[in-house]
Chain A
Amino acid sequence: MKTDGIYPKLIWTREASNRFESRLQTAVLNSDCTCRLKAVLKTMESLIVANIRQRPLRSLISAAGVALGVALVMLFTGLSRGMSNDLAKRSSNVQAEIMFTKKGSMGLTSSSLNLDVEYAKLLKEIEGVQEALPVALYISQGKRGFGFMQIEGVDWNAYSKLNNIQLTSGREPKEHNEVVIDATKARDDSLQVGSELELFGGKKYKVVGVYAPESRARVKMTLGAMQEIMESPSKCTYILVKCKDGVTQEIVARRIEEKLPGNKIQFTKEVFTGIEKQIPALNTFLRVLVGLGAIVSALVVMLAMYTTITERTREIGILKALGASRGFIISEIVKEALLISTIGLVSGFVISYISSIFIHSAYGLLFDFSLGWTITAALIGLLGGSVGALYPAVRAANLDPVNALAYD
């Protein structure tokens, strides 16, 4: 063991560490049954990995930039899909085919009760209509200020019969301070029959029943209760119309238009499609976000590789003196960027997954990560990184070798 007087332990550690690494690598490289590990270890010895390990903080920051871009894409698309799928799932349990509202109504994005419930009686008289059910909708801010929460005022018996939902515990609401909730809300918010809910800015409501499956708003009260709190007696937001068997929704819609012209008639399948169709330009927003994520990743990697190349100008000169081609130099730099991007990419996925768990438990927001968007995020991370490294790589490859060798 070689020592110097001042730092014997340090030298031993470095030597021993290098020797151990080398023995391990030699053993693996001579082994027949560890081909993959051989390839990995050969790569680990390469200039690329050595450079990344030499500048751990910079490599970490670059990877973090890529992770940020990936996490942005994953979380926003996951949230959009999660909320949208949840809404669609709940909407799929609405059996009525038609939604009848006032012309110009904001429909499902508004809390206004501006439709007279008398229309329900008129609708029931139309041939082909089996049931017409008024619904009063209220939308408020979600848990801790995130997302939104819907409350519906309905005739519970008629609503549950129309949409095939049942109470799994408790009873239907009768009083104006009583509500029923769906099983998902009961589970997520740890509520049960007898629990208390604060709605409409602090007003207390008692949970008298839990129902399943989910159907539109997770909280339901009597129509009268909603009309009272909204100070809109005999009004509702929309009327759900169920068509008789054997009669198509288009025919019924035409008949409604003829009998009650000047109102808005929509098919529930089109209305309850998902957030992305309800919120205008949401898809455009998501695409812009994806683009921004790619740009962030590319810029961070470009900046990191640019400063790295500047620091390593002499090394580039040495590579050229050794006969490295432009292609070799470019590929080494881009491979280094790709490796950093891969680390960032994996970190981004992990961060997204863990964040979604925390956000869901804290704010009740739902995430649904799709394979398509995961692949998109991965491509963004990798392409952003490799494209970002291209400019510095080409610059490095075109350096004058004599000047590069003289660089200090």
Chain B
Amino acid sequence: MRTILNAENLTKTYRVGKVDVHALRGVSLEVQEGDFVAIMGPSGCGKSTMLHLLGGLLTPTSGKIAIDGEELTTATDAQRTDIRRRKIGFVFQRFNLFPTLTAEGNLRLAERIQSSNGKGDNAELRRELLRMLRLEDKMHHKPLELSGGEQQRVALARAVVTKPAIVLADEPTGNLDTENSAIVLNMFQELNYRFGQTIIMITHNPEAAAMCRRIIYMRDGHIVEQTKGALA
């Protein structure tokens, strides 16, 4: 089993005025291919900071990160962007779909960005994904015409349409009701179980975390505990 993500001794310190805020204090994490990891912890424990570091959106104060064998921490901004484009898919709490594009349009944009010459266009894969996520009749709807659960499924489809090595999900059910949360989490499980998609998910919801293979607990910028989830 290959290592998709390897983070060693990550620290992240923010300077706020005259005060240093230590968001992460030496976090190490290894994620294998096909793993489905939940990260839990109270607000301010450093979960989102860690996710942003793992996704190359932030650079650590110290430590190393490698995604599928490619070093993130020593990469330039352009190289990090390139790794993010090829290896990482994001799902956000606020869905973050482009409001001016349809569901299919949002997926096509992700493909275009990934192909970087603007020519990426795998219509068959897009339609298959949307069908799998039960959105085939919503392909031509814009985000405002979709429910929260549907928008998040579109966001999930966008994250995986480029076949990333890893999907990073930041509170994907945070803005959803119970019913839609369950639907979205089932989709995550299906992607992981059937297709071996590696996923790291931040969540406050213990029931959501329980659906994963592994649960990591964080507090005050440290990992304090790791347990197995239901899928383990």
* Interface residues, chain A, with chain B CB atoms under 8 Å away: 14-15, 18-19, 21-22, 45, 47, 50-51, 53-54, 314-315, 317-326, 328, 401-402, 405
Contacts and interface: CB of A to CB of B under 8 A. Distances in A.
B116 A321 contact: no
A128 to B, nearest CB: 74
A241 to B, nearest CB: 70
A381 to B, nearest CB: 24
B187 interface: no
B109 interface: yes
Nearest to A19: B140
Contact of B81 (A21, A45, A317, A324): A324
20 contacts: A18-B141, A22-B139, A45-B101, A47-B98, A47-B101, A53-B100, A317-B96, A321-B55, A321-B92, A321-B96, A322-B84, A322-B113, A323-B82, A324-B81, A325-B81, A325-B82, A326-B78, A402-B52, A402-B58, A405-B96
Contacts of A18: 102, 140-142
B81 to A, nearest CB: 5
Contacts, number: 76
A320 B81 contact: yes
A315 B102 CA distance: 15
A54 B140 contact: no
Contact of A328 (B86, B92, B96, B113): B113
Given A45-B105, A321-B84, A325-B81, A50 B96 contact: no
Looking at chain A's contact residues, is the secondary structure mostly helix, strand, loop, or mixed? helix
Given A324-B85, A325-B81, A318 B114 contact: no
Interface string B163-177: 000000000000000
A319 B98 CA distance: 9
Nearest to A51: B100
Nearest to B142: A18
Given A18-B102, A21-B140, A320-B81, 8 more contacts: A14-B145, A22-B104, A45-B101, A47-B98, A54-B100, A319-B113, A323-B86, A324-B113
Given A21-B140, A405-B96, A323 B85 contact: yes
A322 B101 contact: no
Contacts of B141: 15, 18
Contacts of A402: 52, 57-58
Contact of B140 (A22, A51, A326): A22
B214 interface: no
A315 B81 contact: no
Contacts of A315: 98
Contacts of A14: 145
Interface string B79-116: 00110111010101000101111101100111001101
Contacts of A319: 113
A51 B114 CA distance: 21
A315 B84 CA distance: 17
Q: Most A CB atoms within 10 A — which of B90, B98, B114? A: B98
Contacts of B96: 314, 317-318, 321, 405
Q: Most A CB atoms within 10 A — which of B57, B100, B116? A: B100
B113 A54 contact: no
